[in-house]
C-alpha cells in the first residue's frame, strides 16, 4: 500500500501553497496548522510533510513553535524541511518534535555534512530532498538550479545507507496536472533500496491509484487536498482498501 503523506507549507506560522515554488504565487489558507494536522490524523494520515518556507529563504528554521504544536498532536509524526543548514538547526528541529529531517540544499552543496548526519542520526531519520527542474537539482527554496542531476545526488549517499528521498518535480508542483510518473518509476527502479516519495502534481485519487499500480511507495499530496480535488474521506477509504 502506497503511503499518502499530506503536505503543510508554512509562512509566518500559517498554511500556504506555492505554485512551482514561486513565493510570489502564494495562496494562504485559514486553517491553523495544528488543526490541519489533527484532521489528517483523524482520517488515518499520520506522516505529515512540513516545509518551513521562511526557513528555506532564511537558511535557518523560522517556524519551530508551530512545529512543536503540530508534533504534539496525538499519533502524528512530522517530516520537517527548510533551513536545516547546520548541527544546531537540525538538533532544534528534532527537539521541537520532528521525527524526520528533510535536507536538500545542504546535501547538494555540502554532501560530507549530510553523509555525517546519516551516520550520526541513522538513515531512518534523514530524508534526502532531491528537487528537480528540467533534470537538474534545485536548491535554496528552488531559487537556484545546480549542474547536478538527481541520479548523481542519490548515488553520493548510497554508500552511507541513504534509504529515503523526496523528489519534487518543480514544474508540476501546485499545478494539479498529474505527477511525473516516468521520473519516479525510473528512479525507483534504478535505486531499489531507496524509498522515493512522489511530490508535485497530484490532482486526484486516480493519480494515487496509478502510482500504487506502478509500485511506488510514498506520495505527498498538498494543493489537491486543500482545494478538494482529493478528499480526506477518499484517502481514508483508499487506505482501508475500500476505494
Percent pLDDT > 70 in the chain is 96
- 226 belongs to a structural domain: yes
Average per-residue pLDDT for the chain: 93
- 81 belongs to a structural domain: yes
Q: Write out the H or E segment, with its range, that includes residue 115.
A: helix 111-121
Note the pLDDT of residue 33. 95
- In the block, which residue shows the cell 490524523? 41
Distance CA 110, CA 200 (A): 25
Note the pLDDT of residue 11. 94
**What global pTM score does this model have?**
0.93
- 157 belongs to a structural domain: no
Active site residue ranges: 9, 131
Span 41-69, average pLDDT: 96
Confidence band (pLDDT; 50, 70, 90) for 20?
low
Alpha-carbon distance values, 234 to 24, 40, 181, 205, 212 (Å) = 31, 12, 21, 7, 15
- Per-residue model confidence as pLDDT tens digits over 119-167: 999 999 999 999 899 889 998 767 788 999 999 999 999 999 999 999 9
CATH code where residue 20 lies: 3.20.20.70
pLDDT at 230 exceeding the cut of 80: yes
Span 29-39, average pLDDT: 90
- 119 belongs to a structural domain: no
Span 104-120, average pLDDT: 96
- Per-residue model confidence as pLDDT tens digits over 173-203: 767 789 999 999 999 999 999 999 999 999 9
- 122 belongs to a structural domain: no
- 63 belongs to a structural domain: yes
Span 87-108, average pLDDT: 97
Domain holding 203, by residue range, is 3-100+164-239
Which comes out higher in pLDDT, residue 223 or 18? Answer: 223
What are 145's strand-pairing partners?
138
- Per-residue model confidence as pLDDT tens digits over 93-103: 999 999 999 99
Note the pLDDT of residue 242. 63
Q: Write out the H or E segment, with its range, that includes residue 168.
A: strand 164-168
Note the pLDDT of residue 5. 98
- 155 belongs to a structural domain: no
Half-sphere exposure of 17 (CA within 13 A, CB side): 20
Note the pLDDT of residue 85. 94
Span 37-50, average pLDDT: 97
* 8 Cβ contact list (under 8 Å, min separation 6): 15, 33, 36, 37, 48, 49, 50, 51, 70
> 212 near 158, Cβ under 8 Å?
no
List the one residue out of 78, 127, 121, 123 whose CA is nearest residue 106.
Answer: 127
Task: Tally the domains of the chain.
Answer: 1
- 130 belongs to a structural domain: no
Amino acid at each position: 500500500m502506497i503511503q499518502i503523506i499530506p503536505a503543510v507549507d508554512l509562512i509566518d506560522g500559517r498554511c500556504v501553497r506555492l505554485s512551482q515554488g514561486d513565493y510570489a504565487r502564494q495562496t494562504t489558507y485559514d486553517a491553523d496548522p495544528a488543526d490541519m494536522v489533527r484532521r489528517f490524523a483523524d482520517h488515518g494520515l499520520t506522516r505529515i510533510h512540513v516545509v518551513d518556507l521562511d526557513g528555506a529563504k532564511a537558511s535557518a528554521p523560522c517556524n519551530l513553535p508551530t512545529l512543536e504544536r503540530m508534533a504534539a498532536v496525538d499519533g502524528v509524526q512530522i517530516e520537517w524541511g527548510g533551513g536545516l543548514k547546520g548541527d544546531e538547526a537540525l538538533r532544534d528541529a528534532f527537539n521541537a518534535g520532528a521525527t524526520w529531517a528533510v535536507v536538500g540544499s545542504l546535501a547538494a552543496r555540502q554532501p560530507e555534512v549530510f553523509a555525517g548526519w546519516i551516520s550520526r542520526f541513522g538513515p531512518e531519520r534523514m530524508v534526502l530532498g532531491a528537487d528537480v527542474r528540467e533534470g537538474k537539482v534545485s536548491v535554496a527554496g528552488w531559487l537556484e538550479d545546480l549542474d547536478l542531476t538527481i541520479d548523481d545526488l542519490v548515488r553520493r549517499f548510497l554508500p552511507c545507507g541513504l534509504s529515503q528521498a523526496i523528489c519534487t518535480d518543480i514544474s508540476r508542483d501546485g499545478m494539479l496536472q498529474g505527477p511525473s510518473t516516468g521520473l519516479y518509476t525510473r528512479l525507483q527502479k534504478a535505486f531499489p533500496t531507496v524509498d522515493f516519495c512522489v511530490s508535485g502534481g497530484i490532482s486526484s485519487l486516480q493519480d494515487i491509484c496509478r502510482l500504487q499500480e506502478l509500485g511506488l511507495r510514498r506520495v505527498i499530496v498538498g494543493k489537491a487536498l486543500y482545494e478538494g480535488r482529493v478528499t480526506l474521506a477518499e484517502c481514508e477509504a483508499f487506505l482501508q482498501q475500500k476505494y
